[in-house]
Amino acid sequence: GCNQGTIEIPAGVRPITQPELSKLDPEAQGKIKFACTSLIQIQSGTQELPELRKLAAQYGQAGMLLHAYAIIDQSTICYQNAILLDPNESLRWHYLLAHTLREANQMSEAIEHFNEAEQTYTKLGNQQPALLQAIYYYLGDTHLSLQQLDQAESAFRKALEVDESAIAHWGIGKVKLANSPADAIAPFQSALKLAPGTRTVHYSLMMAYNKLGNRRQAQFHQQEFHKVGFELFLSDPILDSVEDLKTTTAALRSRGDTALFTYGDFPTAIRHYTSALEKSPKDTSLHLNLGLAKLRMNRLEEASEHFHDTLDINPMSSRALTNLGLIAAARNDLAQALSLLQNAVAAEPSNHEIRQQLARFLVSDGQSAEAIQHLQKIIERSPANQPALTMLIFCLLANDQFAESQVHLDTALAIFPSDQELAFYGVFGFATAKEETHRDITRAKQLFTQLDRPQRTVAEGFLFAGQGLFEEAVKTESQLDESENLQRYEKQQLPVLMHYSEF
């Protein structure tokens, strides 16, 4: 037999070195040192050379570990070596090498390896559509970064052929946005239909409508973008397997937080938080966020258990109390919900979000006066808090406090001049004040022109009634399928205000 020690590493295989690890946690340092030391010993001849395909796998696994901890230069060398040593099993390594090249801003080289990954996928007859779609999406995105629009669109359309996903439609929209913003609207709308409320797509639509000079639609999508929403999400089994190599509590928490708060990927968030809790069972934020992920999936019983686990460790957790309040409200137990939210506000008086939630429950319970007190406390500290300001205006109007509501309407409309909900309340507030001296029909008419239907029809009734034109108000209100104020107008009474959410 031949002497294994005389076999040399093939030409072209580049040596790796032990990277600087001092900024990493001890667990990561140990893993990387172990993986790299073995390869360095093989490179130097102090460890027996394995079969080349096994050496390829060893370089690839080390590359993934280095990649996971953002040691990009060394991971790139590992992936290149793995491809050279075992071209037949190189799909994963081509794909990951393309990503490290993207991170190093070597876009043309990244494109080569995404194409190699696609060809290898086809040659092997691989059956992982999520991987193929990821290859095409990132190929398109990399072409787009180089302004290679035709190649980018071709790749995104291939991604659509694999599976009709929001992110592939969004990619096509981004291509069109560069030269033909009118043609970008349809793919962006298709993306929004598949992933409603996605911040990323609202931002792109805002840009498209701005380019087209459609300020109204641009402002609408700008407002939607600023509301809480999620980023577009792409399922990527290979990149996920890289991230899975980071197993500390901090890494698992970080991935759980990204899945929960950035992408709205609740099952993945649950998986990471559950793994993290096995390592840190007394960590309140992990219990809390695991409960929140299950709450978002409407698994109320399980979510409730996690919030109670949080309170067992920290009885003053305002977030756990708030979330238990939301569960109580979902079960139509408003009294319990109010009690829990009042405790949450007592535990964290400066938290505007929690105080605002209490105000919502008070409004639902018909306690507008109490809600006003909490909303005023928020506005004192945060005068431009749009949701709190809008709710305060609604409560003041519902409580017949027209003069005070008009002061806040002036402030709110100066800051948010295009907001439909504020304009609707403004028509009511300026047109139908109980004391005629507080009415400002001219101002109400100006706000009325901003409204879309059916709000516009309801608001027109407010305008007529405020001028004493009740017959006209009856005609207008009769156009609606459901009317809050028709009988009041027939009796020549001023209208009551409906909450904007009823539209």
DSSP 480: S
**Taking a C-beta distance cutoff of 8 angstroms, is the pair 429, 405 a contact?**
yes
One domain, residues 205 and 276? no
Residues 398-420: pLDDT tens digits?
999 999 999 999 999 999 998 89
Verify that 233 and 104 share a domain, yes or no: yes
Is pLDDT larger for residue 274 or for residue 11?
274
Kind and range of the H or E element at 187? helix 181-194
- Is residue 84 situated within a structural domain? yes
- Structure token digits, residue 94: 């081509």
Residues 105 and 82 grouped into a single domain: no
Question: What is the predicted pLDDT for the residue at 4?
Answer: 44
Q: How much is the pLDDT for 38?
A: 93
**Three-state DSSP class for residue 434:** coil
Give yes or no: residues 118 and 230 share one domain: yes
Q: What is the pLDDT of residues 275-300, one digit of tens each?
A: 999 999 999 999 999 999 999 999 99
Domains in the chain, number: 4
313, part of any domain:
yes
Q: Please give the average per-residue pLDDT across 259-287, as a whole number.
A: 96
pLDDT at 5 over 70: no
Q: What is the pLDDT of residue 31?
A: 94
Look up the CATH number of the domain holding residue 113: 1.25.40.10
- Residue 128 and residue 32 in one domain: no
Residues 213 and 300 in one domain: no
Please, which residues bridge with residue 111 across strands? Answer: none
What's the pLDDT tens digit per position in 101-145? 999 999 999 999 999 999 999 998 878 999 999 999 999 999 999
CA dihedral 210, 215, 219, 221 (to 10 degrees): -50
pLDDT value of residue 423: 95
3-state DSSP assignment of residue 198: strand
pLDDT at 190: 97
How far apart (Å, rounded) are the C-alpha atoms in residues 348 and 350?
Answer: 6
Asked whether residue 238 carries a pLDDT value surpassing 80, the answer given is yes
- The answer, yes or no, to whether residue 454 has pLDDT greater than 90, is no
Give the type of residue at 400.
D
> At which of 330, 365, 384 does a domain end?
330
* Residue 201 and residue 129 share a domain: yes
Q: Model-level pTM? A: 0.83
Domain shared by 183 and 255, yes or no: no
Which residue range(s) make up the domain with 316?
Answer: 247-330
Same domain, 195 and 291: no
170 and 43 assigned to the same domain: no
Residue with tokens 């504020």, as numbered in its chain: 422
Q: What is the 3-state secondary structure (H, E, C) of 146-192?
A: CCCHHHHHHHHHHHHHHCCCHHHHHHHHHHHHHHCHHHHHHHHHHHH
One-letter amino acid of 420: Q
pLDDT at position 2: 36
Single-letter code of the amino acid located at 151: Q
* Mean local confidence (pLDDT), 253-266: 94
Residue 230 vs residues 17, 66, 385: alpha-carbon distances, Å: 40, 29, 21
**Residue 7 pLDDT level (bands cut at 50, 70, 90):** low
Residue 341 has pLDDT above 80, yes or no: yes
Domain presence at residue 177: yes
Gap between the Cα atoms of 480 and 193, Å rounded: 28
Q: Pick from 440, 438, 385: which is nearest to 416 by CA?
A: 385
